[in-house]
Structure formats: C-alpha cells, structure tokens
Chain A
Amino acid sequence: MTLTAGTLIGILAFCGSRQDDKTFQPAIKKFREEYYKVGAKDDDKIQAVNYLGQYRHERIVAELAPLLTEASPPVRAMTARLLSQFTSVETAPAVLLGGLKSQANAGKKQMAVRIEILRALGALRYKPAGTEVAKLVDDRDVWVAKAAIDACGRIRVQESIDPLLKALRRIEGSAGDLEVLPLEDVLEGVSRGALLKPDPAQKRPTERDVLKQPILSALSSVTKQSFPSSREWDVWWSKNKASFRVAD
C-alpha cells in the first residue's frame, strides 16, 4: 500500500514537473538565448534575469540558482534582489542561503552580493537561515554587518540574540570609534572619478553611528523588549535566556 501511494505521488510529481517545464519552457528558452548570447554584457544579462523573474516558480528558481555563484558580481546581486520577491516559492530562500554560504561569494569584491543575499533572506523571513545570518552580524565589513543585523531583525530567531548583544558591546567600546571608510575600489568596475575624492576635512561616520541603532532595533524586534544600551540588555538577557521563546 505504501509503495503504491509513493508511486502515485511520484507519478503526480513527475507529471507536475513535466507540466511546469511546458509552461515555463518558452520563457526559459528566451532567457537562455538572451543571457548566453555571444557578447552579452552585464546589462543584457540583468535584463534577461529580470525577464525570467516575472515568473515566480520553483522551476525558475532552479534556473536562476547557478547565477548566484557563477555570474559576475552585478548579475549575482541583481539575481539575489530578484529572488527576494519570490515570497511564495519555498526553494528561493534555500537557494539564497546556499549562495551566502558559498565560497564564491566570500571575497571582498563579492561584498555587495552578500549584502543583497542578506537583504533577500531578511525580506523572505527565512528562519532556517537565522543562525548563518547571525554569524555575519560581527562581520569586518560594516555594511555586511549592517545587512545581517537588519536581516536578524526580520527573521527573528533566538540564535541571533547572543551575536547581536556581542556586536552591541563591541561597538559601544572603542571599536565603535572606527570610521566607516568610503567604498572606493571595493567593487569591481566602480570608480569614483577625479572629482569625487573625499574631502579630508569631512567627518566620516563611525561604526557606532552606523550600527548601534540597527542592533537595538533588531534586538527589540526579536525579543519585543526595549533597552538603550548593552548593560540593560545583558541584565535582561541573563535573567530570561533560559526561558525565552520568540513570540510569533
């Protein structure tokens, strides 16, 4: 009986898959023609990705998944941004999480890709990604850390509280005095131009300026509590950690 039911489910899934293929095949075909055409630039590829992204389905996610690790950084970033809109497709956040873990997106030049993936995971509120996202709350790149903190506030898992508190304590100390450097030469192909040299007299924001408020907001979102500094948060957390559960 079990075997029969399993076979039936398999047949149905197979038929469903075939039907999906038929439905999306023209769009996928067009996407492939545009994306892989000879001489296609990033602009063409992003347009092709945007075209395919109109169809929100697992089959489309499967088609876009390899781009998160194999395409150029702008195409990866735009693919991640597009997948953040696949709210009703279960495979989309899993693919994004895979992209975040991938070594292909670990370099400095892929910083914008990581940021876009973190924003996307936050937008999709993908709880299985909570632990992985929380690891990046203390990232050395301040904007990656900021994106991870924001994502923690949206995903809302208990595992993110400790990393958030640790980050809060860090930036309340002297480490928070570090100035946020301009993003010059961080991203491939981006140049600020001759007239955009930063003014040495201009005061740059510190990490504390950039990160403290987002951390407090994220903690508040996860715990539904509100405290102004790490000291109060530590007191509350030491009392409630054992019994705390994230409220739905």
Chain B
Amino acid sequence: MSTMEKSCPPTEALAGWLQGSLAPQDRSHLASHLAACDECRRAVAIASTLDAPPAAPVNEILLSKVVAASRPRRFFPFAAAAAAVLAAVVGFSMFPKNSPPSAPPPAVVQRPTEVVPAVKPAPTPEIRRTGTPVAPPQPGEAPKNPTVVVEQPKAPSKTVVAPEKPGEEKTVTIVIPETAPDPKPGPKETVAPVKVPVDVLSLAPVFVIDPVGDLWLRRDEAEAKAVSLEKVAYKDKFSTRNGGASFSLEARTSVMLEKGSEVALWHVKADDLYSMALDQGLVMLDTEGSSQKWRISFGNSKLDFNNLNGRLAVESRGDRMSALLLDGSAELKIGTMAKKAQVGQEVVFSREGTVVEQKVETQKKLARLDELRPKVFTAFNSTFDEKSDESQAYPYAVVTGKRALGPTGFFLQADSLAAGKPGEKNALTSEIHLDRTFGVVTGMWIKFRYRTNLPTFSVKIGNYSADFTSRVRAGQWGEGEIPLGAFFFEGTPLYPTDPVENVRFTGSTEKKNGQLDIDGVQFLRRVK
C-alpha cells in the first residue's frame, strides 16, 4: 500500500521526527502516519542510519533523497530524461574547456594535518536534544560513527512540575523540551553520534498502568513521579529511589522494580517483543498467565526469552547482567546458544556475550516479587473520558449508545429502541468493542458504574450474559461487579482463555424514558 500519495508529510517533518524537534502533537500525528505508510517509514529508517556526516542537525539532503527514492516514481522516465538533458547543458556551460580536471575543494586543502579528536566525550544535554532520537540504552556501547557536526540549538524550554516530596502521590506534568533548530547558522559543535536502530520505527511505546510505590519516570532531562497512566517510549527510563515499585505493563505483564533500579522498556510491534535495558537494580516480571517474548539488552549482548510464561528476575551487577526464571517456562537464546530455560538456573552474561550459568535459590526473590507486585491486575479500563487517539491504553470503540457529557465527565448512554409491537418493551442497549482482545483468566471480574431506572439489566460478553439487579435508586450512580464465571451461554460459563472482545449492557422497560448509563468499565483480577 502506498499512502505516500494521500497525505505524506513533507521532508522537513520527517527530518523533525528524526531530530526529535516536533511538537508532541505533530509527533503523534506523524507517528500515526508512519505506522501506516511503508514509504515514509522506510525513508526515515534508512536516513536515520546513514553514516555520512551531515552539515545540518539531520541529514536533510540525504533524507530528501531517500524520501524521493522511496516515493512512487510515476514520472521517472520523463523526469530522468529532463534531468539528464539539463545536467548536460549546465555542465557544458559551467566548465571551461581548459579548466583543470579536478581541483580539490579549499576545505580539504586547508584542513590541518593535526588529528583532532573527533568525538566530544560528553555531549551536553542541549546538544543531545538536537540529535536523532537516542537508541535504546546500551551501556558501554562505543560510538561507531566518529563525527557528526550539528548546529547549536536554542536552549530548550522545559517545564517540569514534580511532586515536592519523592513519596508524594501527585499528578505531575512533563512538558517535553522544544527543540526547534536555530534558523541562523550558529557555532558548530561536534558531538557523539547517537545511532538510531534500524527498526526504531517499529518500536512502539508501552503503556504503564496503575504504578504503585516509588516509581519515577525520566524523559530526556525531565523527571517526575509516574502517574496512573504513562505512555513510555524506548528512550524513557523508569527508576525507583526510596523503595520498590510495581506497575502493570499494557495490562499484560506485572513489572516489579526493587529499590534503586533504573530500566528502559519498549515494545517491538512487528515481533510482539518486549525489550528491557536495565542500568541498575533488580526488575522482576510476571507474564500473568500469557506467553510473551522478552529481550534483555546489555551492551552488545541480547538475551531473548521466547514463550515466557511465568516470572523472571533480571538483575544488574555492574559489568554483568543476571536473568533468572523464577517460575514457569521459557526458551532462552543468547548468541548461538538456544535452550529451554530452567527454573532456578541463573544466566549471567556480560556485554561481550560471555555466559555463565549457575543454580541459585529462587524463594527469596519470589517472596519479594509477591510483596512488590500489583495487587490488582487490570485487563481493561475505560471511563469514557478517553480521547480517541493513539495514547489510549485500552483502545475501544463505542458500537451502540453514545458518549454523553455529565458533571464529572463523559459516560456511556444507552440507545433506546422503541417497542415494535403492542405488549413489547422498549429496549435499551449500549456496547463497546475492545480493540485489544484479552483472554478470560480465573478470578477475573467486571466492574462498572451505572445509573438506571430499570430493576434489572443484562451485561453481555459475546454470547455470554449475566443478569444484574440494580441496587441504587433511579438517578443515582452505583457500582456493580460480576465475576466472569457467572456469565453463561446456554448452560456453559465463560472459561479461561475465552476471548473478551466486547461488553454490552441491555435492559428493557415499559417506560418511555428508560435510563441505562454506564460510567466506567473495568476488567480486573485480584492477585492472590
């Protein structure tokens, strides 16, 4: 598919993407476009990995060439012919017949013979902001490209509102620094190149939900305490300071960080692979009954856990990294070695890829994991106040009913269907479709806020339904919860692994002004 012809962004926008200089909104739009447009994605990916030292913050010339090359070439034969003729004409007119065949450019002649250090040891944050997005953290990785000359940018404007005390629960706002390059050519700085992985555009942000404990999120130079929902890119880092912390990662994995840990997490969409780069401390994962792919990056080494279904502890030990399967099963792969992971068999590896295995005790770590872990696991959560953009942690669509605005925000109002025949009742229905289906897990239940003037209504998940008796007066809001095991379809209940794709609320009444409003739907599981 070529979406390039429809509404592809200009080259400058793609350059801005690579620079990280786009406004968050623009970046969000462009990210959506890149997710759908093969040509632009390819162009940016190629341009981001080009080694030629650019004279601009981002190699816009090369980028534009790549963009041009990746776009459909409808008029290529004519354009090429015209360009050839033009080049020939210009060439003949510009070069005198007796000019020397090849004169070296002055810059080369004037270059001093002394070897100048090509890489500046520690680029300042401001300079770094002008570069391409940083690669996933790989401690100790030596820069491969010796020099990149970039323009000095304006000082970034940044606003960070952090809680006054580290342990204080407070909503904070992080404004990502603006990094528009200075239009005027400024003094040149030489900085260490930041190599963007080829697959950078397939790295999707991860959603962190309901963090508990002393969890902090660092984005560029800004740092703030993590709030109830964070969208985290691969260059952001989580850290814990005065105590441990835990959170649910995209409602799929429980992640526990021991005190003093620092870690980056990201997701490779194409492979459905979660990746982790741990700088320090101890991180533990629980895949909560699902099979997942995880990669532990450490320097040049990569330890892969395929079909990880269980609990994993990853610990940084300075120049070594340890990974230990605490429970469950997985297939591990590091370098050329691939085998089934053994519970209690610790894999210790270095940045260079040397691997040592040893048998260790898992009980203490398991006990600590249980201590730290989130006590409730959220599989879906909607308050109907979400904006329908890509930042939705639990994307969904309203199929029936409509979002209505109340004093405290939006709620889902059921559509009313008038009775077709005398004696029939009017029907009320609202339904949402979950974009990300999940499987039923034992002990899961649905929780919702409701307001109705019906004595009973039904909640349906696919073909399975449960009747709910209202416990509130008409016009008042109340909370309801139903275990998923109480949903039946013709005598059979919902079983573990059955998919949850939609939720429907239905009721019937003889009244003309029937009411069935839902404000908030959650699928939860208490962790024992």
Closest to A45 in B: B496
Interface stretch, picked from B59-67, B188-196, B245-253, B463-471, is: B463-471
Contact B309 A47, beta carbon cutoff 8 Å = yes
Check if B9 is an interface residue, CB within 8 A of chain A: no
Indicate whether A98 reaches chain B with its CB closer than 8 angstroms: no
Chain B residues positioned under 8 Å from A142 (CB to CB): 491
A50 close to chain B: CB less than 8 A: yes
Whether A47 contacts B289 by the Cβ 8 Å rule is yes
A191, CB-defined interface residue at 8 Å: yes
- Report if A147-B481 is in contact (Cβ < 8 Å); known contacts: A43-B441, A190-B486, A192-B486: no
In order of increasing CB-CB distance, the 10 nearest A-B pairs are: A143-B491, A43-B496, A190-B485, A112-B492, A192-B486, A199-B456, A46-B496, A115-B491, A74-B495, A199-B469
When C-beta atoms are compared, the residue in chain B nearest to A150 turns out to be B490
14 pairs, A vs B, C-beta closer than 8 Å: A74-B495, A112-B491, A112-B493, A115-B492, A143-B492, A182-B467, A183-B488, A190-B485, A190-B486, A191-B483, A193-B486, A195-B481, A198-B467, A202-B467
Give A8-47 as 1s and 0s: 1 = Cβ < 8 Å from B's Cβ atoms. Answer: 0000000000000000000000000110010001111011
Closest Cβ of chain A to B451, distance in Å, is 15
Instruction: Report how many residues on chain A are interfacial, defined by Cβ distance under 8 Å.
Output: 38
**Any chain B CB within 8 A of the CB of A197?**
yes
**A189 — nearest CB in chain B belongs to which residue?**
B485
Q: Which residues of A contact B28 (CB under 8 A)?
A: none
- Evaluate whether A196 and B486 lie within 8 angstroms (CB atoms) in the complex, with A43-B497, A47-B497, A202-B456 already known: yes
In the bound complex, do residue B468 and residue A43 qualify as a contact, i.e. CB atoms below 8 Å apart? no
Q: Nearest chain-B residue to A190 (Cβ)?
A: B485
Q: Which residues does chain A contribute within 8 Å of B291, judged by CB atoms?
A: 47
Instruction: Convert B280-296 into 0s and 1s, putting 1 for each residue whose CB lies closer than 8 angstroms to a CB of A.
Output: 00000000010100000
Complex: how many Å from CA A37 to CA B340? 15
Interface residues of B in 423-464 (CB under 8 A from A): 441-442, 445, 455-456
Q: Which residues of chain A in 58-89 are interfacial with respect to chain B, using CB atoms and an 8 Å cutoff?
A: 74, 77-78
- Among A34, A111, A116, A190, chain B packs the most CB atoms within 10 A around the CB of A190
Residues of B within 8 A of A198 (CB): 467, 469
B509 proximity list for chain A (CB < 8 A): none
- The answer to whether A202 touches B455, judged by C-beta atoms less than 8 angstroms apart, is yes
Shortest Cβ distance from A62 into chain B, in angstroms? 22
CA distance A112 to B498 in the complex (A): 15
Instruction: Say which size band chain B's interface belongs to.
Output: 20 to 34
Q: Which residues of B contact A (CB under 8 A)?
A: 289, 291, 309, 329, 441-442, 445, 455-456, 466-469, 471, 480-483, 485-486, 488, 490-493, 495-497
Check B491–A33 contact: CB distance below 8 A: no
In the docked arrangement, what's the CA distance between A183 and B485, Å?
11
In contact, A187 and B493 (Cβ under 8 angstroms): yes
- Judged by a CB distance under 8 angstroms, whether A156 is at the interface is no
Residue of B467, B490, B495 touching A46 (CB-CB under 8 A): B495
Residues of A with C-beta under 8 A to B471: 195
Q: Answer whether residue A146 sits at the interface, using C-beta atoms and an 8 A cutoff.
A: yes
Query: Across the interface, which residues of A come within 8 angstroms of B329, CB to CB?
Result: 33-34, 37
CB-CB < 8 A to B482: which residues of A? 192-193, 195-196
Which one of B329, B442, B490, B493 has the greatest number of beta carbons of chain A within 10 Å? B490
Contact A191 B486 (CB under 8 A): yes
Residue from the list B441, B481, B490, B497 in contact with A50, Cβ < 8 A: B497
A42–B498 Cα gap in the complex (Å)? 13
Q: Closest residue to A197 on the B side, CB-wise?
A: B469
Looking across the interface, which residue of chain A has its beta carbon closest to that of B490?
A143
Let me know if A5 is at the binding interface, CB within 8 A: no
Beta-carbon contact of A41 and B442 below 8 Å: yes
Residue contact A43 to B289, C-beta cutoff 8 Å: yes
Contacts of B441 in A (CB 8 A): 43
Say which residue of A46, A183, A189 sits within 8 Å of B497 (CB atoms): A46
Confirm or deny: A144 has a beta carbon within 8 angstroms of a beta carbon on chain B. yes
Compute how far the CA of A43 lies from the CA of B445 in the bound complex, rounded to whole angstroms.
15
A33 to B466, CA, bound (A): 36
| Minimum C-beta distance from B379 to chain A (A) | 13
Give B281 Cβ to nearest chain A Cβ, in Å. Answer: 28
Given A47-B496, A199-B455, 16 further pairs, Cβ under 8 A: A34-B309, A43-B496, A44-B309, A46-B496, A77-B492, A78-B497, A112-B491, A115-B491, A143-B492, A146-B490, A190-B486, A191-B486, A193-B481, A195-B482, A196-B466, A198-B467
**A182 and chain B: residue at smallest CB distance:** B467
Query: For the complex, is A3 an interface residue (Cβ under 8 Å from B)?
Result: no
Flag whether A235 is at the interface (Cβ < 8 A).
Answer: no
CB-defined contacts of B309 to chain A, threshold 8 Å = 34, 44, 47
Chain A: CB-nearest residue to B343: A37
Q: Which residues from chain A contact B490 at a C-beta distance below 8 Å?
A: 115, 143, 146-147
Asked if A90 is an interface residue, CB under 8 A from chain B, the answer is no
When distances are taken between beta carbons in the complex, the residues of chain A under 8 Å from B497 are 43, 46-47, 50, 78
Q: Are A77 and B495 in contact (CB under 8 A)?
A: yes
Smallest distance from the beta carbon of A178 to chain B beta carbons, Å? 15
CA distance A221 to B72 in the complex (A): 56
Contact indicator B455/A195 (Cβ below 8 Å) = no
Closest chain A residue to B484, Cβ basis: A190
A174-214 toward B: CB 8 Å interface, digit per residue (1/0)? 00000000110001011111011111011000000000000
Q: Is A162 an interface residue (CB 8 A)?
A: no
Q: How far is the CA of A47 from the CA of B440 in the complex (A)?
A: 11
Interface residues of A in 141-159 (CB under 8 A from B): 141-144, 146-147
In the assembled complex, the Cα of A12 lies from the Cα of B497 at a distance in Å of 39
Q: Which of B456, B468, B486 has the most CB of A within 10 A?
A: B486
CB neighbours of A201 from chain B (8 A): 455
Q: Which residue on A lies nearest to B492, using beta carbons?
A: A112
Specify which chain B residues have a CB less than 8 angstroms from the CB of A192 in the assembled complex.
466, 482-483, 486
- B468 with A196: CB separation less than 8 A: yes
**Hey, which chain A residues are within 8 Å of B492, CB to CB?**
77, 112, 115-116, 143
Give the distance in Å from the alpha carbon of A77 to the alpha carbon of B440 in the complex. 15
A141 touches B469 (CB 8 A): no
Are the C-beta atoms of A195 and B495 separated by less than 8 Å?
Answer: no
